[in-house]
Structure 1
């Protein structure tokens, strides 16, 4: 089992795989982000080609399309021909189409397993996996998905269906996080303890566990990154592109883009997405 990319999500996923007894090889462009996994039993490879040389499954957990393309082209010819490559990076519709074309060029067996969740669920093996691809190939990687996720939703039999579902889900994450920040700011500006908002929605039809998690961070003004704000900004751009291309109104997405951009410009780009509350 090989994990290419050991940033926030990749490192957590690799740790979960190791905990579940998988033999794991890892690689990251910045080796200092991969080295700590050696202490947990992972083999740290010097380059992508070496990392995939004996892999049965290759998991791509990288930041954007350019990174996925670079790594795939560097490693494609080095992996066993029967290896399954699992694209788990959020790269949008166009990026996914590019990777599918490259997989065809190199004769790679490719499926998707988008990761819905943040740092803690990745480390705990409690992500929701949004899988797509031929059913028989997905069956082969079920033990991997079970090790890193609490459940797997099969979005379809075409690579790209998982990406579509991930974009829809992240639109929800971006919306509810920003909406929580807005409501807390309104309560505070009108002279109330903002925690009263969380008390008011608790247990109601409009309640959300996510609103409480992010709301508590906003009230405490503590933003250790579980999902970096600039990472979600990147995703909002991908979601907006997909919506515009498919004829969905981008009015709300455009507003979200501006709000997250304001928080990033104020110095919160590497903080958790809860820092979007500062924009209000």
Structure 2
């Protein structure tokens, strides 16, 4: 299929590589062209602006940082795509942001679905993300080849755009919690005079085990935090999750604490590092 990826940060670039590997005709655009140009070596066409990027697209993936970026790009490019193009909102924009994107899509008469990406940079590059999709079943069926190229599985959250966003917020609340909890347990073990790796040995294979704890725990113990999921990106998501929880009567006690812990790590200079750097806050 002819697929355009708008936004080639860590996730967008990985998604583009997976699409190319599966034989799709891929066009990419990024606000900073230098971040998109390396994809030309893999066979992608690099566009100069969003409008030209979508001019022949069957599917457009919006892989941008936040709601403001999605709205801006959609406003720029919606009128330049073929009328039957399917636009796939894949950015974590929160409940209000999702509602705004739906309104903009309706304004321009474009077909919009959601496909949130659950995973980090490496799974994106390997085509092993979990895709959280929402939208009319027939439309999602039509873009299955795209979702299959970038994901190991697709979970359909419902037929209304916004339901996949809700599922992504719930999932990222778990990611934020388990990553911070891993850092806390390692810090407690170290402070009490034992090898922190014993904590990971203790939970291994038990009902409380988590592959994520081992992956992030290894990074925490090494003190090396190459970004798979940037800490400031998760901080943004925690804010969106907190807003959604508060607006719908869910206690934000844990979310407020998570927000403070990740903010402390960011203030210490780890905003662009991997979320495992939250361990430094302990």
Map of 1:114-129 to 2, 5 A cutoff? 114-129=116-131
Map of 1:156-235 to 2, 5 A cutoff? 156-235=158-237
Unmatched segments (≥5 aa) in structure 2: none
Q: TM-score, structure 2 length as denominator?
A: 0.99
Determine helix, strand or coil for the equivalent of 1:154.
strand
Aligned-pair CA distance for 1:32: 0.7
1:97 equivalent in structure 2: 99
Return the alpha-carbon distance in structure 2 between the equivalents of residues 217 and 192 of structure 1.
18
Map of 1:231-270 to 2, 5 A cutoff? 231-270=233-272
Deviations 1:2-43 (A, max 9, x none): 000000000000000000000000000000110000000000
Deviations 1:115-139 (A, max 9, x none): 0000000000000000000000000
Q: After TM superposition, which residue ranges in structure 1, 4 or more long, deviate above 4 angstroms?
A: none
2:52 equivalent in structure 1: 50
Deviations 1:191-217 (A, max 9, x none): 000000000000001000000000000
Map of 1:20-31 to 2, 5 A cutoff? 20-31=22-33
Among 79, 82, 85, the alignment partner of 1:83 is 85
Return the alpha-carbon distance in structure 2 between the equivalents of residues 149 and 74 of structure 1.
28
Aligned-pair CA distance for 1:178: 0.1
2:151 equivalent in structure 1: 149
Aligned-pair CA distance for 1:101: 0.3
Among 104, 110, 113, the alignment partner of 1:111 is 113
What root-mean-square deviation, in Å, do the aligned CA atoms of Structure 1 and Structure 2 show?
A: 0.3
Deviations 1:213-238 (A, max 9, x none): 00000000000000000000000000
Determine helix, strand or coil for the equivalent of 1:110.
strand
Determine helix, strand or coil for the equivalent of 2:112.
strand
Aligned-pair CA distance for 1:276: 0.1
Among 68, 71, 81, the alignment partner of 2:73 is 71
The number of residue pairs the alignment matches comes to 280
Aligned-pair CA distance for 1:82: 0.3
Aligned-pair CA distance for 1:69: 0.5
Return the alpha-carbon distance in structure 2 between the equivalents of residues 221 and 200 of structure 1.
21
Return the alpha-carbon distance in structure 1 between the equivalents of residues 110 and 101 of structure 2.
10
Deviations 1:55-107 (A, max 9, x none): 00000000001100110000000000000000000000000000000000000
Determine helix, strand or coil for the equivalent of 1:25.
strand
Return the alpha-carbon distance in structure 1 between the equivalents of residues 90 and 165 of structure 2.
9
1:140 equivalent in structure 2: 142
